[in-house]
Structures are given as C-alpha cells and as structure tokens.
Structure 1
C-alpha cells in the first residue's frame, strides 16, 4: 500500500532545503533525541496538503485507510478519539437528534456535551462490574426510542476499558428499525477489523465509529481514525467542517505520517498473521490459567483479570508483575488490565504466563465491588459545568450539585455527573475509589 504522506516528508527532508516556513526549529534545533523526527516535522507547505481541506497526499492516505476498514470514508485525527467524539456529537446536534448513551463513556464525551450543550438520555447497565464495565441490553434503548418519536442516535463504548464488547450487530439492527444512528467509541478496538472473525463496529453496522490508532496499533500517541460507513447523510466535506470546529489548525505531520505508515502495516498479511497469533496465544494462556484466574475480557487483545473474583487484590498482582518488568495498563483492587498488540512477541507472552503461574498472593481480596449510584439530575450538564464552583471534601458534599465529572479511569461509568445531586451512594463510591474532594456548584 502506498504511503504518500511519509514519502513526501522523507523526500523533503532529503532535499536539505532552506526552510523559510514554520516550524521554528527548521529541522535542526530542539532536543537531541528528537533530531531525526524534527527533520520530518513540517507544516502545510506546497505539496503537503491541508488536513481539513484535503485533496492531495492526505486525501490519498485517508482513502487508503477507508479501503482497509471498508468505509465510505475515513478521516484522520491528530487529537485522538476525543476529536472524533466531538465531531460525531456535533453532527448529531446539527441533525437535531436526541442522544441515547450507555452510561460508561469516556470523559471526552462528557466534555463534548458541555461544549455543545447537549442533553443525554442515559441508560444504565443491566449488570455492572464496578464502574469500569457493564452489560447493556438493546431493549432498554428501544424503550426510549419508542417514547421519543423524533430523530435519535445511540452512543456506545465498545470495547469498554475491561475489554468487554457490546452486541453491535443487534444495536445496528435496532437503529435501522427506528431510523436512528449508531455511534461507537471504539478507541480500544482499531485492530478488530483485522482479526479473522471481522468484529469491527463498522463491519457490524455502526454508522460512525472512532478508533485510536495509538492504543492497539502503531500510530503515534494522539492519532485516531473517524470512520463513516455511508456518505448518504454526511458528506466528507460536512464531517471535515465539524472536525475543524474543535481541532488545531496546525495538525502534526509526524502524527499524520504515522497514520499513513500504519495503513501499510495493516495492509500486510504479516500484520494479520501476527495479530491472530497473539490472540491465539492469549486465549491459550486464559485456558491454561483458568483454574487460578477469572478473566473478565471478551475482546481478544485485552487480558483482564478479575482480581476480586480470583481471590486477591489487584494492586498486589500489579506490584508483583512490575517487579518482573511487566508494566500494566491499569490496576485497582478489583481488576488488572493488560493490553496486547501485534507488536508483542511469543516470548513476552510465555514469560507473562510463567509470572502469572508463579504469583502467590498474600493480601486478601478487596470487598464487594461498588454498585452504581443513580443520582438525581437537577440541571443541565453545561449549566453546572460552567457555573461558579467550589471544592469540598467529598464526605461533606451530600445534597450539593456536582460541577465537574468524577471518573477515576476513563472510559468508565461516571459516579456523578455535572448537574446531578450528590447523595450518600455517590460519596461511598468516590471514597472507595480514593476520591477525596469534589467540585460542586456554589
């Protein structure tokens, strides 16, 4: 697959031009360890195209990504999935759609609702695993769709932070039935399109989907894709215009080049073979260790251990693995989350398996996981978030209106949202996750 952006940058660097344009380092100043990268760090000079008016090398590169994911079009983000989430929600607001969202959302979603003054109809999980995960039933969303009688969209986070996935195909069918749109925060699932079972949200019927290229692929941190399944309702120009509303006018060409190169990797049969091999080895690890550990994931490249159900404290396992030079994605008393990609080697997985076999916990497991509070909504999320605020010890906040969202580890179920009244259940969960202060409306 072609890499037009990467090729342009490397060719320009090789020409040794006198750079009378931004950026100011001119390809030669800056930190010594970043010198080679600085040579490729350009701006929108002639031939480099312009991200939000792309018709040259960036448009060609984005078309390559679209062909890999099977979309009507795919656009690049240098502001992570955050920019993609903002864009999707702005498009829905422009269409006058009510947003129905599963409660486990990334903080970026909540901040976008503040910026857009966007009310949300929340759906709580039927079953939850603390605040980090839960299962959502399409029929709970259908009840709201039946009552609305006006255009709507459903917003899901899948995979969630523990690696559990929603039944995207069922939600897509529901949206088609009610002429709604399905938006999926797939930040942790960019690789799903390249597994043998083809389980990416776009392949399963989602209308819009964001993928972080840096979480599970080789893109530089902050790179992401915004996928659009059909161009019937939203043209590329309309979506670019929505993205430009929130994005920097100086997107990083280093980041764009990494997305461009990512396309080449994704198109390679070797990448898919390595991805499938890692997934298979992790599944074998789960089977071998199933008597010792309870695994909480359903997405193959997450390895999530339910520490509480396994009979030990998750932070003890984290400390033990760190002493063996394994640095984890996340751990608390209840869960341990490890992320894998095609870059992980068989030797690394074998060494991890041995370490997990050798682990002998000494600390008792944490108590029961917290049940999700259902706080009362008092005012809009924007009204509360932009109101005068004060910070209180969380134990003294009962009855006050939350001003700033409390999410210990995004994406997760917010304990209490801006505009909701803090009650005793909220306080207990906050304290259980080590949150000692909270911002409230004055």
Structure 2
C-alpha cells in the first residue's frame, strides 16, 4: 500500500532544501526526529483542506476500516469526540440533547460546555468501577421511549478502560428504531476491525466512532481516526473536516500524520495474522494466571485486567510488576490493567506471567460501587464558564462541581460540571485519591 505522506516527508528531508519556514529547528537534530518534522509547505497538503497526499492517505485508511469516510486527528480521540458531537448536533435530527453512558471521558463534558447541549445519563444497574457503565438494550429502549423526542445521538464508550465491551449491535438497533445516531468512543479499540470476525463498532452498527490509533496500533501519540459509517447520512461525511477543524490546531504534527500513513501499510501487510497470534498468546496467559489464583476480568482481546485480591491493591500489583521491569497501563485500588499489542513479543508475555507469580489470597465478593448521581443545578456550559474555586474534596459536599475532577487515566468524571456534589461523589473521591475539586463560588 502506498504511503504518500511518509514518502513526501522523507523526500523533503533528503532534498537539502533551505527551510525558510516553520518549525524553528530547521530540520537540525535536537531530539533526533526533526528532519522529518515539517509544516504545510508546497506539496505537503493541509490536514483540514486535504486535497493531495493527506486525502489519499485518509482514503486508504477508510478502505482498511470499511468506513464511508475516515479522517485523521493529530490530537487524539479528544478532538474526534468533540467533532462527533458537533456533527450529531448539526447534521442530525435537530435535537440539542445527547443520551450518554455515564463513564464518558472528560472530553465529552468539555464538548458539552463548548457546544451547549443537554445530557441525559444512562446509568448501570450495577457497577464495581468508575470505568464501567454497562448499558443493556432494554435500558436504552426505556430511556429513549420516555423522551418526548429522539436525541441527537446516543453516546457510548466501548471498550471501556477495563476492557468491558458494549453490545453495540443490539444498541445500534435500538437507536435506528428511535431515529437517532449512535456515536461510540472506540478509543481503545482501533484493532477490533482486524479480528475475525470484526468487533469494531463501525461494523456493528455505529454511525460515528473515534479510534485512538496510538493506543493499540504503531502510531505516534496523538494519532487518531474519526470514522463515519457508509450507512450514515451523507451530511456527516461532507462536514467531517469542518468539524475537525473547529477543534484542532492549524499546526498538526507531520510526524504523527506520517505515522498514521505508515500504519496503513502495516495494517494491510499481514496484521491480521500477527493480531491473531497475539490474541492466542494472551488467551493462554489468562489461563495461566487464572490457574495461578488470579481473577482475570472479561475484557477486549488485547487487554489483561486483573482484579486485586483481598488485602492487596491494583497499585501494589503494579509495583510488583515494576520490580520485574514491567510498566502497566493503569492501576487503582481494585484493578490492574495491562495493554498489549503484536509489538509485544512472546517473551514479554512470559515475563508478565512470571512476575505476577502465584496468588494465595482469597477474593472477597465484589461490592457494588454506586456512581455519583448528582443533582443537576446548571448546565455544563454554565458551570465551566462560571467563576470557580478549588476546595478540599472532603469539604465539597453540597457544592456545585465546576470542572470535572479525576486523573488521566482514566479521565472519567466522578462529578460532572453543573452537578451538586453528594455523599456518593465524596466516597468516590476518597477511593480514587482525588484530594481537591473545583466548585462554583
């Protein structure tokens, strides 16, 4: 497969051209990659007005993902999330309401403030983590049936940070029945398209979705895709670049664009076989860890999510791995999350299993962890544009949340901007180590 962006960047680096243009390093080596770091010079195309090499590269990505249109982001899925919601609000049914599962990334809340839409939350029947919000088709059906008019979109996160996956096919059917779009934050699941059969949200019925290519594919940090389904309204495809330009820098990283471009060739050249082999290795690792006494949570195929046993935390498990030269993706009181790809060899998996060792501690019953269902006092926009102050989390009871407060990862708000902070939120602040929160003055 052709790689037009990467080829252009390399040709320019080798041309000896005097760089009387940005960036200021002029191709001289400080970090080591500067010769390939360019801007929108002649022939390099322009990300948001793509007519040349970027447009060609994006079309190749669209073919690989089977989309109606795929466009690149150099600012991660956060940019794509805002663009998806803009498209749903401006090209959909005219509604200014979005129905969303509560475990959204905080970029969703910032988008609500910028675009000024109303949110109807979908809550899980039972939750054991801030990261999870499983939504059944029946729950979605009841929510949409009770609304006076269809929302602009239903918004889901799948896979979630622990690897939980929604029943996208069934949920998409409910959305179609009620005449609303389905938008999916698939940031952790770009690779799902290349499983056999595909488990990618676009193939399962989503109208819009975003993939953080850099999370599971060999792409530089910040590289992401916004995908629009072939079955989605044409206006979504036609307005995609406008939507991305609204929320993106006019100085996109050509290093990131080149890595997205090269990834097309990587995906087209034997990736399915390498992915199948790695998924097999990880399945064997799950069996070995289970036999060693560890509780392995259900997750997407490229993740190992380990439940911490009684008397131990996910953070302690992370430290155990760190001592053996393994750095995890995420750890909290309850879970340890490891994200692997075909770029991790068999030796990596063997070291992880060896470093985990044997667990002789029992597992206590999983407690229900209610998410914080705070009273809505004002909109996210009003809260985020209002004067705010920072207070100790333990003293925030009854105050109105200003900015969503939680670390990244997992970047899932405990209290959402505009909601009154209640006892459930205080308990979650303690559990996730949040010491300060922003509240309205």
TM-score relative to the length of structure 2: 0.94
CA deviation after TM superposition for structure 1 residue 222, in Å? 0.5
- Contact map agreement 2:137 2:174 (CA 8 A) in 1: yes
Report if the CA contact (8 A) 1:312-1:365 is conserved: no
Q: Distance in 1 between matches of 2:125 and 2:339?
A: 26
What is residue 384 of structure 2 aligned with on the other side? 385
Greater mean deviation of Cα atoms: 12-21 or 180-189: 12-21
Superposition pairs of residues 52-67 of structure 1, within 5 angstroms: 52-67=48-63
Deviation (angstroms), 1:358: 4.6
Change in CA separation of 1:413 and 1:54 when aligned onto 2, cut-off 3 Å? closer
Alignment of 1:138-153 (within 5 A): 138-152=137-151, 153=153
For 1:145 and 1:365, locate their aligned partners in 2 and report how far apart those are by CA, in whole Å.
37
**Cα deviation 1:162-193 (Å, max 9, x = unaligned):** 01100010111111111110100000001001
SS of the residue 1:434 aligns to: coil
Distance 2:372 2:382 in 1: 22
Question: Which digits, 9 at most, give the CA deviation of each residue in 1:52-105, with x for residues without a partner?
Answer: 111111010000000000001100001100110000111122132321000001
Match of 2:84 in 1: 88
User: Helix, strand or coil: the match of 1:127?
Assistant: coil
Q: Does 2:71 align with 1:70?
A: no
Distance in 1 of aligned mates of 2:433 and 2:165: 27
Cα distance in 2 between the residues matched to 1:109 and 1:280: 34
The 5 A counterparts of 1:109-124 are: 109-124=108-123
Larger deviation, residues 254-263 vs 421-430: 421-430
Matched residue count = 435
- Per the TM alignment, residue 40 of structure 1 is displaced from its structure 2 partner at its CA by 1.2
- Match of 2:234, SS state, is coil
Cα distance in 1 for residues equivalent to 2:337 and 2:344: 16
8 Å CA contact retained: 2:333, 2:431: no
The question of whether the paired residues in 1 share the 8 Å contact of 2:87 and 2:236 is answered with no
1:22 aligned residue: 22
Matches within 5 A, 1:152-191: 152=151, 153-191=153-191
Determine if the alignment matches structure 1 residue 43 to structure 2 residue 78. Answer: no
Aligned counterparts of 1:241 and 1:367: Cα–Cα separation in 2: 46
CA shift for structure 1 position 410: 4.6
How much has 1:394 moved relative to structure 2? 1.8
Following TM superposition, by how much is the alpha carbon of 1:420 offset from its aligned partner in structure 2, in angstroms? 0.7
Tell me the residue number matched to 1:208: 208
SS for the counterpart of 1:125 is coil
Aligned to 1:127: 126
CA distance in 1, matches of 2:379, 2:118: 7
The question of whether the paired residues in 1 share the 8 Å contact of 2:128 and 2:366 is answered with: no
Shift of the alpha carbon at 1:393?
A: 1.5
Q: Is the 8 A contact 1:190 1:216 kept in 2?
A: yes
Is structure 2 residue 8 aligned with structure 1 residue 12? no
CA distance in 2, matches of 1:366, 1:414: 26
Shift of 1:140: 1.6
Shift of 1:384: 1.1
- Provide the residue aligned with 1:328 in structure 2: 328
Residue 151 of structure 1, CA deviation: 3.8
Give TM-score, length-normalised by structure 1.
Answer: 0.94
Deviations 1:109-147 (A, max 9, x none): 111111111211001112212212132112222222223
What is the Cα deviation at residue 364 of structure 1?
10
The 5 A counterparts of 1:229-248 are: 229-230=229-230, 232-248=233-249
2:328, 2:337 within 8 Å by CA — same for their partners in 1?
Answer: yes
- Deviation of 1:425 after TM superposition, in Å, equals 2.1
Deviations 1:362-401 (A, max 9, x none): x998995632221111111111111111121222221111
- SS state at 1:290 partner: helix
Distance 2:208 2:165 in 1: 16
**Aligned partners of 2:380, 2:17: CA distance in 1, in Å?**
51
Cα RMSD over matched residues? 2.0
Q: 77-86 vs 288-297, which deviates more?
A: 288-297
Gaps of 5+ in 2: none
Cross-structure match for 1:266: 267
Superposed CA deviations along residues 10-42 of structure 1, whole A, max 9, x for unmatched, are 1111111112222222211x52x32xx211111
Aligned mates of 2:363, 2:225 — CA distance in 1 = 42
Could you tell me which residue of structure 2 aligns to residue 249 of structure 1?
250
In structure 1, runs of 5+ residues without a counterpart are none
Q: Does 1:284 align with 2:284?
A: yes
Distance in 2 separating the partners of 1:236 and 1:51: 15
Q: For residues 386 and 303 of structure 1, do their structure 2 counterparts lie closer, same or farther at Cα, with a shift above 3 Å needed? A: same
State how far apart, in whole Å, the 1-side matches of 2:414 and 2:19 are.
Answer: 51
Describe the superposition over 1:174-217 as per-residue Cα deviations: whole angstroms up to 9, x where unpaired. Answer: 11111110100000001001112210001111100100011000
Q: What corresponds to 1:315 in structure 2?
A: 315
Q: Which residue of 2 aligns with 1:341?
A: 341
Distance change (3 Å), C-alpha of 1:196 and 1:367: closer
Instruction: Kindly indicate whether the alpha-carbon contact (under 8 Å) linking 1:402 and 1:441 is maintained by their aligned counterparts in 2.
Output: yes
1:421 aligned residue: 420
1-structure distance, mates of 2:41, 2:414: 47
